[in-house]
Amino acid sequence: MDDLRDKYLTLINDAGDEAALEELRVQAVGKKGEISLQMRSLGKMSPEERQVAGPALNALKDEINAALAAKKSALADAALDARLATEWLDVTLPARPQRQGSIHPISQVTEEVSAIFADMGFAVAEGPQIDTDWYVFDALNIPSHHPARAEMDTFYMSRAEGDDRAPHILRTHTSPVQIRSMEKQGAPIRIIAPGRVYRADYDQTHTPMFHQVEGLCIGKDVSMANLKWCLEEFVKAFFEVDHVELRFRASHFPFTEPSAEVDIQCSWENGVLKVGEGDDWMEILGSGMVHPKVLENAGVDPKEYQGFAFGIGIDRLAMLKYGIPDLRAFFDSDLRWLKHYGFTPLDVPTLHGGLSK
């Protein structure tokens, strides 16, 4: 039995790979292995002989199995060391930093505005970007001769010759959503309508496509005082100031009466806008009490209900809050402008292995 032990321990120690080790396992402790056959012969022995040979064979089997397991582990470690020695990758190096993008400033401001008005009970309403001239102009009390209805200011959809349907246009404001919401929900109602709008204009402060949010609040006792409070609370929350003065200047919009442009108190220091302090004023939005004809056109009785509406340029708010001087920077293919103001898009790998900026 000692010869059998020495034989297999030597063979196990000299095994060069796991295949050779598995072959030795079968020879030694497999079903027909030498040690297994020795254990089967115990039945032919006398009780006295079994009492001596049985424990010795069990101990031998355990020792061989332990030697097999230790050698297998040593072979696996040696194989891993050999693999690591031939590979160029250093797995101990720290991972490369992952570039992270950020939300686009227009989307961020839209979310900020929606959250602020949600705290004041305004729901978000949406509507089609291509609409009829009824919803975009007529229902809002905008007369047929108004300059906004000219083709030089508004994008009209092409019509085939003989097509007598009402003109469809790219909406010039989100006010049509107010009409559709009142038609669907009636009064009282309190909504904001953020979204894309389109006008035929392009310069540093105008683009053919931009974003607006318009608000509507209709009830039986809604007044200009409510409008003033609502806008003051919004400006303070959006620009993160504790106090701000608003100035309402008389103006004219076909869909509100009375109408007012709203200015905020501000100052400019080294090109940086500071809201709520200083002696300067800056116009940020238009507002007013909803015209009775607009309520009638939306199916709301103006003798029973009244309310206010306002419209704010989301792009303009983003420019003011984040100090972006050119509206076109939001849509320019050169994204270095947005990176300069803290809005970094994700870098996208190209087919050539570089990064598209």
Same domain, 191 and 126: yes
If asked whether residues 180 and 210 sit together in one domain, one would say: yes
The residues, ordered by sequence, that sit 6+ positions from 33 with a Cβ below 8 Å of its Cβ are 25, 26, 27
- Mark whether 153 and 271 lie in a shared domain: yes
What's the mean per-residue pLDDT of the chain? Answer: 84
- The response to whether 49 counts as a known ligand-binding position is no
- 178: closest CA among 149, 139, 227? 139
Domain count of the chain?
A: 2
Which range among 16-20, 134-138, 145-149, 288-292 shows the weakest confidence by mean pLDDT? 145-149
273 Cβ contact list (under 8 Å, min separation 6): 266, 267, 282, 320, 323
Q: Quick: pLDDT tens for 207-244.
A: 788 899 999 999 999 999 999 999 999 999 999 999 99
Contact 261, 251 (CB under 8 A): yes
The strand pairing partners of 179, in sequence order, are: none
Q: 3-class secondary structure for 72-85? A: HHHHHHHHHHHHHH
Helix (H), strand (E) at residue 212: strand 209-219
Query: C-alpha dihedral over 13, 15, 19, 20, to 10 degrees?
Result: -110
pLDDT of 349 > 70? The answer is no
pLDDT band at 347 (very low <50, low <70, confident <90, very high): very low
Residue 96 included in any domain? no
C-alpha to C-alpha distances, 108 to 115, 216, 343, nearest whole angstrom? 11, 22, 10
Q: What is the residue whose two structure tokens read 């401001």?
A: 109
- Residue type at position 213: V
Integer Cα distance of 317 and 321 in angstroms: 6
Judge whether 213 and 127 are in contact, CB under 8 Å.
no
pLDDT at 337 over 60: no
Confidence of residue 335 (pLDDT cuts 50, 70, 90): low
Distance CA 221, CA 217 (A): 11
Q: Are 39 and 33 in contact (CB under 8 A)?
A: no
263-315 pLDDT, tens digit each: 999 888 877 788 888 888 999 999 999 999 999 999 999 999 999 999 999 98
- Domain with 66 in it: 1-85
Asked whether residue 115 falls in the same domain as residue 78, the answer is: no
Kindly report which listed range (3-12, 48-57, 219-228, 300-309) carries the lowest average pLDDT score. Answer: 48-57
The CA distance from 314 to 330, in Å, is 11
Rounded CA gap, 215 and 232, in Å? Answer: 14
Residues 122 and 258 in one domain: yes
Assess whether 146 and 271 both reside in one domain: yes
313-332 average pLDDT score = 79
pLDDT value at residue 352 = 38
Instruction: Kindly state whether residue 92 falls inside one of the protein's structural domains.
Output: no
Asked if 62 and 143 sit in the same domain, the reply is: no
Taking 90 as the threshold, does the pLDDT of residue 249 lie above it? Answer: yes
Question: Is residue 302 included in any domain, yes or no?
Answer: yes
Co-location of 144 and 202 in the same domain: yes
Same domain as 141, residue 22: no
Q: How many CB atoms lie within 10 A of CB 244?
A: 19
Q: Which of the pair, 129 or 28, is modelled with greater confidence? A: 129
Instruction: Kindly state the average pLDDT of the residues 172-185.
Output: 94
Q: How far is CA 189 from CA 2, 114, 127, 292, in A?
A: 98, 16, 16, 15
Q: Half-sphere exposure (CA, 13 Å, Cβ side) for 100?
A: 4
- For residue 129, the model assigns a pLDDT of 93
Residue carrying structure tokens 């970007």: 129
Q: Are residues 198 and 57 in the same domain?
A: no
Q: Which two structure tokens, joined as six digits, stand for 298?
A: 């939306």
Query: Do 195 and 76 fall into the same domain?
Result: no
Measured CA to CA, the distance from residue 136 to residue 128 in angstroms comes to 11
Q: CA-CA distance, 245 to 243, in Å (whole number)?
A: 7
Residue 353 has pLDDT above 70, yes or no: no
Contact of 312 with 284, CB cutoff 8 Å: yes
pLDDT in tens, 87-113: 777 778 888 887 776 778 888 899 999
Assign residue 318 the CATH number of its domain: 3.30.930.10
Cβ 301 vs Cβ 295: under 8 Å: yes
- CA 10 to CA 24: how far, in whole Å? 11
Give the predicted TM-score (pTM) of the model.
Answer: 0.65
